[in-house]
Amino acid sequence: MNALAIFGISALMSTIASAIVAILYLWPRLRSLEQKRALAALVAPHMVRFVGLSLLVPGVVSPLLPAAFAVPTAYGDFIACVLAIIATIALLNGAPWAIPAAWVFNLWGTADFLLAFYNGPHSGLQPGALGAAFYIVTAIVPALLVSHVLIFRLMVRPELRKPA
């Protein structure tokens, strides 16, 4: 099987697994929480998006990794990390601007992923050029993408939450 097929299958299976875990275990629990606490639980894992900066580290990734993919993805992830930290702290402290901060984070973070999904194929990205970062893209990103969907769902339709 070629590397591109393995890459695609890995990302797809990780997305499916993440969605199943979210539906079976996360969503029922999140619906029982107050909105800001539920959002904080979903935003907080994005604080690790600083790992996207590894796309700029020679030896972690191949020198053949296209800069058109690596640079905006790495810095976009780092900005998403900072926004996630701000939003998480605001949500947990009940700041009046917490929900807008979560919106800013979620819009930025989702747009960052969508831009990376676009830039990858359009920049000539080959899966092997990701080096060790292959696992970020195929294991971590799908789970975080599923959490973005859940965050949007909580913010757009808060009435879906069950009372505690």
Exposure on the CB side of residue 58, measured as CA atoms within 13 A? 2
Q: What is the pLDDT of residue 157?
A: 76
* Total domains present in the chain: 1
Q: What is the pLDDT of residue 160?
A: 54
Q: What is the pLDDT of residues 95-110, one digit of tens each?
A: 999 999 999 999 999 9
Provide the domain limits for residue 65: 3-160
Report d(CA 107, CA 152) in Å as an integer.
9
- Percentage of residues of the chain with pLDDT beyond 90: 92
pTM exceeding the 0.95 threshold for the entire prediction: no
SS (H, E, C) 74-90: HHHHHHHHHHHHHHHHH
Q: What is the pLDDT of residue 49?
A: 97
Comparison of pLDDT for 160 and 12, the residue scoring more: 12
Q: What is the pLDDT of residues 75-129, one digit of tens each?
A: 999 999 999 999 999 999 999 999 999 999 999 999 999 999 999 999 999 999 9
Q: What is the pLDDT of residue 159?
A: 61
